[in-house]
Structures are given as structure tokens and as C-alpha cells.
């Protein structure tokens, strides 16, 4: 079977994409609006992209416009003949403030993470919805998830806007300016990767744990 993306309905191709490109790490992003309203939301189109400069990137999709129409400034400029999508609170906050925190998600935090994935009104504090504690960041204004073992404080490096319609999205690239690591996950002065019971996103509502691991040494080429 060969598939041409342009010949499939969006939902059909999206199903193939998220089912085959997996497991995906989860960026649990905490941000603040310009007025200081906290927000916390997970994104599974996420990864590390560079070590020097230290960059992380995640890709928030657009929301379907509300029946009353998207609020002014909520989306990128629409393409002629195409309805504009509505920016999620996280993307709007980062555009306004240029700061955010990416918290990693463990199996223990999976249920709380899932609670924060709802499309809540911008006035809702997802820390409170999920009964999570927040802790002050060292450099940026948004607070981190206190229960997360590793949190990356980021300053906005760049936003790449793709299709601004309701099926499109953007790529947010942040430069890491500080990292908080829970001391319980340190061993011999280094982060103990084996102590992090991280989860990954599969297709649909499926997730996976990363506790089953194996090692392979890279080949030595003379």
C-alpha cells in the first residue's frame, strides 16, 4: 500500500502519522499569559533538536474556530479561502511573553497530565484542575510542575508558523536557560536515566512506559 498525503482526508493521514511515528516524548508545557494567568498543557509532537545552542521544540496544532468566531489575534493570518484556526492558549502565551517551561512526564504523573489536556477556557488554571503543585522557576516567569523530575526553563528562540487553518499548526523552538533536576534522580553526579519512569504517546489514546529497555553498542568503523 502506498499513500499520498494530499489524496487522503486529514483525519485518515493524521491517524497514520501518529500511529507510525511513535512512541513520542511528551512536553508538558507551563506558560503564563501577558496578564499572568497560568496555563499547563501536554504536547506529543516534541523533541530535543540541538545541544549547542540547547534547543527543544514542540508543535502545537490549531484549534477549530469557536462557533462565535476566533478572537482577534488568536491565529496567524488566514490563507485566502481557508478558515483560520484558533491558537491554543500555550502558543498565544509564548507569543506574548517569550517564556515557557517544559516538564517531563512520568508514569506516576500520567493521569494528571491527561487532565490538563482538556480544551479549557483561558481563565482556567490547569495546575488546579489536576491538583498539581507548582514551584518557582529560576530564570523564567512561568512556574514548573513541582512533581516532575526534570523541568527545562526556556526562552523563545523561534516560532515557525505552518498552515494557519484549523488542521495546521506551528513549531515552537525554545532555548534552554535553566534545568531543574530532582536530586532523587541523580546518581554519581549525573542524571540517572534508569530512574525516570517516563511515558510516551502512541496513536489515539494509547501511551507506553519506557521501563523495558535494551542496549546496543554503536559499531566501530576503522
Distance CA 178, CA 152 (A): 6
Q: How far is CA 112 from its chain centroid? A: 15
Q: What is the structure's pLDDT at 74?
A: 41
If you write DSSP's letter for every residue of the chain in order, what string do you get? Answer: ----GGGS-HHHHHHHHHHHS-SB--EEEEEE-TT--EEEEEESSEEEEEETTEEEEE-PBPBPPPTT-PPTTSSPPPPTTSPPPB--HHHHHHHHHSEEEEE--BGGGHHHHHHTTS---TT--HHHHTT--EE--SSSSSPEETT-SEEEEEEEEEEEE---STT-BEEEEEEEEEEEE-GGGEETTEE-GGG--BEEE-STT-EEE-------PPPPP-
Give the number of domains in the chain.
1
Residue 57 lies in a domain: yes
Query: What is the domain range of residue 184?
Result: 24-209
Whole-prediction pTM = 0.90
CB atoms within 10 A of CB 56: 22
Residue 38 lies in a domain: yes
Q: What is the structure's pLDDT at 75?
A: 39
Residue 4 lies in a domain: no
pLDDT in tens, 71-130: 333 434 444 455 566 889 999 999 999 999 999 999 999 999 999 999 999 999 999 999
Residue 5 lies in a domain: no
Residue 17 lies in a domain: no
Q: What is the structure's pLDDT at 141?
A: 98
Residue 14 lies in a domain: no
**Spans in the chain with pLDDT lower than 70:** 65-85
Residue 6 lies in a domain: no
Q: What is the structure's pLDDT at 68?
A: 44
Q: What is the structure's pLDDT at 207?
A: 98
Q: What is the structure's pLDDT at 83?
A: 55
Q: What is the structure's pLDDT at 165?
A: 81
Residue 220 lies in a domain: no
Q: What is the structure's pLDDT at 66?
A: 63
CATH code (residue 91): 2.30.110.10
Amino acid at each position: 500500500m502506498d499513500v499520498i498525503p494530499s489524496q487522503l482526508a486529514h483525519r485518515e493521514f493524521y491517524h497514520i502519522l501518529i500511529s507510525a511515528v511513535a512512541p513520542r516524548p511528551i512536553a508538558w508545557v507551563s506558560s503564563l499569559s501577558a496578564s499572568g494567568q497560568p496555563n499547563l498543557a501536554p504536547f506529543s509532537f516534541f523533541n530535543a533538536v540541538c545541544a549547542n545552542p540547547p534547543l527543544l521544540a514542540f508543535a502545537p496544532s490549531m484549534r477549530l474556530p469557536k462557533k462565535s468566531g476566533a478572537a482577534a489575534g488568536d491565529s496567524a493570518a488566514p490563507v485566502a479561502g481557508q478558515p483560520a484556526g484558533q491558537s491554543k492558549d500555550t502558543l498565544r502565551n509564548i507569543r506574548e511573553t517569550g517564556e515557557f517551561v517544559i516538564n517531563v512526564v512520568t508514569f506516576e504523573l500520567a493521569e494528571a497530565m491527561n487532565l490538563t489536556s482538556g480544551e479549557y477556557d483561558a481563565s482556567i488554571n490547569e495546575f488546579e484542575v489536576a491538583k498539581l503543585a507548582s514551584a518557582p522557576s529560576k530564570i523564567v516567569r512561568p512556574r514548573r510542575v513541582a512533581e516532575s523530575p526534570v523541568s527545562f526553563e526556556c526562552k523563545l528562540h523561534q516560532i515557525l508558523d505552518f498552515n494557519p487553518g484549523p488542521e495546521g499548526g506551528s513549531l515552537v523552538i525554545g532555548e534552554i536557560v535553566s534545568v531543574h533536576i530532582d536530586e532523587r534522580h541523580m546518581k554519581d553526579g549525573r542524571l540517572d536515566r534508569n530512574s525516570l519512569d517516563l511515558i510516551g504517546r502512541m496513536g489515539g489514546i494509547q501511551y507506553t512506559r519506557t521501563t523495558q529497555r535494551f542496549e546496543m553498542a554503536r559499531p566501530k568503523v576503522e
